[in-house]
Structure 1
Amino acid sequence: MTDPDQTPVNPPIYQPPAAPANPAAPGSPAQSGPAYAAPGYQQPYAQQVPSEKYNVLSIVSLVTSILGISLVGIITGHIGLGQIGKTGEKGRGLAIAGLIIGYLGILISIIALVVLIPIMIAILNDPAMVDSF
């Protein structure tokens, strides 16, 4: 914090550099034009150039989801989508397909467990059902 008894100090005012002493000298900026070019328009954010290669994790997501390893497909699909958003690689559709198939695989597994567990319990509790097969 500054001392309230002292007068405030202002920063120095910017002054452009002084002109050369002899503007007519050979090679001077006055004779050959400006020594530097004016800066061109620059975009505030660099555009992402899409790559021609596919994201590896999106391929892994689709393959593992099809093979029945749904959890791995879901995890790699989410990571792959994040990488595709940053790098601009191809494979967004593959990652989404891997996610959909992976989530459907988990949903089917849960439904199968909900249906099969009561059937197995009923078979184990009734010996007549075991003998009928």
Structure 2
Amino acid sequence: MTDPNADPNVPNVPPAPPAQPAPSYGTAPAYNASAPAYGAPASQKTNVLAIVSLVSSFFISIVGIITGHIALSQIKKTGEQGRGLAIAGLIIGYIGLVVGIIAVIAWFAILGAAVSSGNITTY
């Protein structure tokens, strides 16, 4: 349908959209020095017991084993970093414990052999 009052020489053009207000250029947002920089990854905390487990497993194996198991439990609950450190502490701690047990058994075997052969006298 066409408008009977419209001029046939003027093309049918829709009206222009209403004007948008200009953006306001007020004050800039305040600078927040504590906000992380763009693109910087959020650093996660490493579980302290995982570090203690790894370090102590070189010196006192049982401490490395105990702290390693506690660290793995905490990491599972909290989602912290350090799972690899805790596992490394456990592995080194268990290897140290096994080597220590073998060394004690070997020491008593050598001591028993020396006493039974007469090389060591007991009073």
User: TM range, normalised to the smaller chain?
Assistant: 0.5 to 0.7
In 2: Cα distance, 1:107 partner to 1:118 partner: 16
Q: Look up the SS of the partner of 1:89 in the other structure.
A: coil
Residue 76 of structure 2 corresponds to which residue in structure 1?
Answer: 85
Q: Highest Rg: 1 or 2? A: 2
**How far apart in 2 are the matches of 1:82 and 1:122?**
45
1:1-133 superposed matches below 5 A: 52-67=44-59, 69-127=60-118, 129-130=119-120
| Cα shift at 1:51 | 6.2
RMSD of aligned residue pairs (Cα, Å): 1.9
Q: Aligned residue pairs: how many?
A: 80
Consecutive unaligned residues of structure 2, counting only runs of 5 or more, are 1-41
State the TM-score, normalizing by the size of structure 2: 0.59
1:116 positional shift: 1.8
Deviations 1:21-49 (A, max 9, x none): xxxxxxxxxxxxxxxxxxxxxxxxxxxxx
- Deviation, 1:88, is 0.8
Instruction: Give per-residue Cα distances to partners, 1:77-121, cap 9 Å, x unaligned.
Output: 000001001111110000000000000011101111222211101
What's the CA shift string for 1:39-73, capped at 9, x where partnerless? Answer: xxxxxxxxxxx961110000000010012x01111
User: Structure 1 vs Structure 2: percent identity of aligned residues?
Assistant: 59
